[in-house]
C-alpha cells in the first residue's frame, strides 16, 4: 500500500505538469523513472546504506563472541544468521538493513560493542533481529528510497516550471491547464514534507514493535532498557549518519542537532522518546 501510494503520488505529479504544460513526455518520464528507480533501489539499497555508513563486514574470527551472540538469537527467533558489519566510531548505535531475512545485515558501532555489557548487547541485537523478522528492514529501506525519489522529482518539476516551461503553450491553455499547474506546484512543494512525516511516523511505530519483540525474544526486557538508557545518555553523535539514514538506527544518531519543543517539533523526531521506550520495557518486568 505504501509503495502504491508513493507511486500514485509521483504519477499524479508528472500528470499535473504534463497537462499544465502540454508535455506528455513529463508523465512518461515520471512513470518510467519512478519504477526503474524503485526496482534498482530494492536490490541495491542495503549496499548503498552500508557504503554511506562506512560500515565494514567482519568475520567470525574477528569477533567470535559477537557472532555467537547474534547467531544464538537468530536461531531462537527462527531466522537465518545475518551478516555483521561494524562502523569504526566510538558513538553507541546499531541498525539493521537488507530486503529480507535471507539478505539481512546487522550493523554495530565499535563504541556499542566496547561499552555495553553482554546482556545489554543481547538486547540491542534482539531489537535489530526483530526488525529483520518483521521485515522492517525492507519497509524502512523502501520508505527512504521513495521519499528520496519524490523529493528529487518534485525538485525537477519545479525547476522545469521555472526554466523549461515558461512561455510555452500558454495560448489557449484553458482552465484545466491552469488548475493542473497550480495542483502540480502545490504537490511539488508539499509532497516532500508529507513523505518525510510518513517516513518518521512509520519509523517510530516500528521502533516500539521491535522493542516489544526483543523483550519477548530475550525474556529479559531490562537488558534492552539498560542499553537504551546508556545510548540515550551518550552525547556523542555518529559521524557516519545523516538525515536520510538516521531513522534506521536504534537511537537518534544526530544528537548534536537539538530538537525544538512542543507537539510540532515531535512530528520530526525520527525516534520515540528514549524515556518512554525504557518505561515501557521496564513495565514488562512487573
Catalytic residues: 128
List residues bridging with 55 in a β-sheet. Answer: 87
How far apart (Å, rounded) are the C-alpha atoms in residues 279 and 271?
A: 15
How far apart (Å, rounded) are the C-alpha atoms in residues 212 and 44?
A: 29
User: What is the bridge-based pairing of β-strands 55-57 and 94-97?
Assistant: unpaired
How far apart (Å, rounded) are the C-alpha atoms in residues 206 and 144?
A: 14
How far apart (Å, rounded) are the C-alpha atoms in residues 269 and 203?
A: 9
DSSP letters spanning 109-175: EHHHHHHS-HHHHHHHHHHHHHHHHTTHHHHHHHHHHHHHHHHHHHHHHHHIIIIISTTSS-TT-HH
Cell 529479559 belongs to residue? 220
What are the distances in angstroms from CA 234 to CA 79, 90, 92, 115, 193? 31, 10, 7, 11, 30
Give which of 107, 110, 105, 106 is closest to 91, Cα–Cα: 110
Amino acid at each position: 500500500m505504501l509503495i502504491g501510494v508513493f507511486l500514485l503520488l509521483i504519477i499524479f505529479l508528472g500528470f499535473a505538469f504534463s497537462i499544465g504544460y502540454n508535455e506528455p513526455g513529463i508523465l512518461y518520464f515520471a512513470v518510467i523513472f519512478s519504477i526503474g528507480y524503485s526496482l534498482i533501489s530494492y536490490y541495491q539499497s542495503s549496499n548503498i546504506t552500508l557504503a554511506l555508513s562506512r560500515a565494514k563486514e567482519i568475520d567470525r574470527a574477528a569477533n567470535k563472541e559477537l557472532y555467537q551472540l547474534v547467531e544464538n538469537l537468530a536461531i531462537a527467533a527462527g531466522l537465518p544468521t545475518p551478516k555483521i558489519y561494524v562502523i569504526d566510531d566510538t558513538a553507541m548505535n546499531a541498525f539493521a538493513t537488507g530486503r529480507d531475512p535471507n539478505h539481512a545485515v546487522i550493523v554495530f558501532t565499535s563504541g556499542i560493542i566496547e561499552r555495553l555489557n553482554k546482556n545489554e548487547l543481547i538486547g540491542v541485537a534482539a531489537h535489530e533481529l526483530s526488525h529483520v523478522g518483521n521485515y522492517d528492514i525492507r519497509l524502512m529501506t523502501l520508505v527512504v528510497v521513495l521519499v528520496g525519489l519524490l523529493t528529487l522529482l518534485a525538485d525537477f518539476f519545479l525547476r522545469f516550471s521555472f526554466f523549461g516551461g515558461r512561455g510555452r503553450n500558454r495560448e489557449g491553455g484553458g482552465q484545466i491547464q491552469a488548475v493542473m499547474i497550480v495542483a502540480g506546484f502545490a504537490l511539488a512543494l508539499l509532497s516532500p514534507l508529507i513523505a518525510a512525516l510518513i517516513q518518521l511516523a512509520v519509523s517510530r511505530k516500528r521502533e516500539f514493535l521491535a522493542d516489544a519483540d526483543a523483550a519477548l525474544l530475550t525474556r529479559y526486557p531490562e537488558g534492552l532498557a539498560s542499553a537504551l538508557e546508556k545510548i540515550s545518555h551518550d552525547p556523542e553523535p555518529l559521524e557516519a549518519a545523516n538525515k536520510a539514514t538516521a531513522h534506521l538506527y536504534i537511537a537518534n544518531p544526530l544528537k548534536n542537532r537539538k530538537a525544538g519543543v512542543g507537539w510540532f517539533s515531535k512530528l520530526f523526531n525520527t525516534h520515540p522518546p528514549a524515556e518512554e521506550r525504557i518505561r515501557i520495557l521496564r513495565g514488562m518486568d512487573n
